[in-house]
Structure 1
Amino acid sequence: MPDQIADPSDLRGDCAQCFGLCCVALPFARSTDFALDKPAGKPCPNLRGDHRCGIHADLREKGFTGCTVYDCFGAGQKVSQVTFGGQDWRTGTKEHARQMLDVFPVVRQLHELLWYLNEALGLSAARPVHADLRRALERTERLTRQTPQELAALDVAAHRQEVNVLLLRTSELARAGVAGKGGKGGKGGGKDRRGADLIGARLKGADLRGASLRGAYLIGADLTGADLRGADLIGADLRGADLTDADLTGAFFLTQPQLTAARGSAGTKLPESVTRPVHWTAGS
């Protein structure tokens, strides 16, 4: 994919280069994903002094499934090693720690955008907007390298909206001509299911080729054997969705956290941008 200009390895979390920021900055709510309540800014009780998780090997068994599906898209190491030059939040001043924890969620959003923009540049069908995508990627990367003060003041929502216009156009171009039996659903390929409530939906064997599933709620949906080739999955909630033997070849804007939150099998066909979750087993 020669048009991609970001290094994909920089857009995956590297806990060895991070100071456990996600375990401190982010809040937890007691649920099926987390075994306890934790406010933002308070370290998780499982966080050790070396910034490693004390129950990492047993997170699912201990009720912390939410931690197993989380990925900061490389924001943790960027904030730890670049923004703050390797200075630990534990050893700095209270103001330093507050700034670091405030900046981390901002950079995480920017890195997620870098992931989408990088993938968009790898889609040959989106070539008409590659120049605009490249400019957006370069600008987003520059934003991630601002000072802590500049990052804290950044209107990241406005920037996301600007980038989303390009990602929507990318989706239309990539899905054109990939429609399934569901018929046309807007400017792209298959049906437009943006934001659809498909919680627990029975979609076994469904033809969703080229569908827009942006932001769709697919929690616990049965997608076994479904055809999702060329579908736009940006922001789709796949928690507990069954992707056993589903075909996601060519599906785009699918992130590793989304996939890890779902269930699948050895027969599930995946796009090159993600890897098969380790907890998936044949027939799961």
Structure 2
Amino acid sequence: MDLQSNCEECFGLCCAALPFAVSTDFAINKNAGQPCPNLRDDFRCGIHTGLRAKGFKGCTVYECFGAGPKVSHHTFAGRDWRAAPESAALMFEVFPVVRHLHELMYYLTQALELPAAEPIHSQLHSALEQTTRMTLLPAEKLLEVDVPTHRAEINELLLQTSDLARDAARRQLTNIPKRPKNYGRGADLIGAKLKKSDLRCVSLRGAYLIAADLSGADLRGADLIGVDFRDANLCGADLTNTLFLTQSQLNAAKGDALTKLPDALARPEHWSSL
């Protein structure tokens, strides 16, 4: 099961199906269904090696979790939208649906790798199998999938996983302080000064940590699902054994050689200059 982007096996779907607007992440406006002007005829990016320098930082932090290849080669059987323009609108509409489902599969797979979640492994397996079956539906049937309801059901399992894993981590770690503040989902921590903070085993689900200073912070055992790390300073931070951290979250942040990462994730190339 491939749950990572593979642009070599995709028909440039994120570059054509999705919209973006002029911002710090994108240099131009683009409507949904309108191919990016940087997309070449072979579905490769014409400025791939210079995306950040040319104002397309947002492209470097996007992750489809393998949905692009799935839609390109399974849902549409390898027939691209340029060769079959009559399929373009449907392909572009299906892609975000499959992307949402693949993201859930990524989190469920991570949850199943956690020994602490063993009490609910059967439910997690069932949810993963159900979600996988959904991604294999024909294009028209995929558009009938109630993604918000399915996501809410999966989220309940992921919340249970988080509680089990963080409780287990608390038992293993020492001197975890009592925290007077509870970071609720979607907490506004934009620009927060959290340098060298002890955030072990904290739930930061969905928190906005844009441009926050987390340099030297200890995040071991923290739940980071959906955290917005854009331009957050993770230099010297300890992110080992965090829960539900993705490569795209790291790509959106700033870090250095002292930032400690989970084994499964790579140090972003742009960190080397910091």
Amino acid of the structure 2 residue aligned with 1:155:
D
In structure 2, distance between residues paired with 1:25 and 1:214: 28
Amino acid of the structure 1 residue aligned with 2:28:
L
Counterparts of residues 1-284 of structure 1 (less than 5 Å) = 7=1, 10-94=2-86, 96-179=87-170, 180-183=176-179, 191-281=182-272, 284=274
Post-superposition Cα deviations, 1:141-175, rounded to whole Å, max 9, x if no partner, equal 00000000000111111110110000000000011
In structure 1, distance between residues paired with 2:247 and 2:240: 15
Task: Give the 3-state SS of the residue equivalent to 1:135 in structure 2.
Answer: helix
Q: Which position in structure 2 is the counterpart of 1:3?
A: none
In structure 2, distance between residues paired with 1:107 and 1:235: 18
Task: Give the 3-state SS of the residue equivalent to 2:143 in structure 1.
Answer: helix
Amino acid of the structure 2 residue aligned with 1:183:
R
Conserved 8 A contact 2:116-2:168: no
In structure 1, distance between residues paired with 2:53 and 2:85: 36
In structure 2, distance between residues paired with 1:239 and 1:40: 23
RMSD of the TM alignment (CA)? 1.3
Deviation of the 1:86 alpha carbon? 0.1
Conserved 8 A contact 2:25-2:58: yes
Amino acid of the structure 2 residue aligned with 1:244:
C
TM-score of the superposed pair, with normalisation by structure 2: 0.95
Q: Which consecutive unaligned segments of at least 5 residues does structure 2 have?
A: 171-175
Post-superposition Cα deviations, 1:46-69, rounded to whole Å, max 9, x if no partner, equal 001110111111100100000011
- Percent identity at matched positions? 60
Conserved 8 A contact 1:48-1:54: yes
Amino acid of the structure 2 residue aligned with 1:56:
H
In structure 1, distance between residues paired with 2:225 and 2:78: 32
Inter-CA distance 171–270: structure 2 relative to 1 (3 Å threshold): same
In structure 1, distance between residues paired with 2:4 and 2:23: 26
Conserved 8 A contact 2:67-2:99: yes
Deviation of the 1:193 alpha carbon? 3.9
TM-score of the superposed pair, with normalisation by structure 1: 0.92
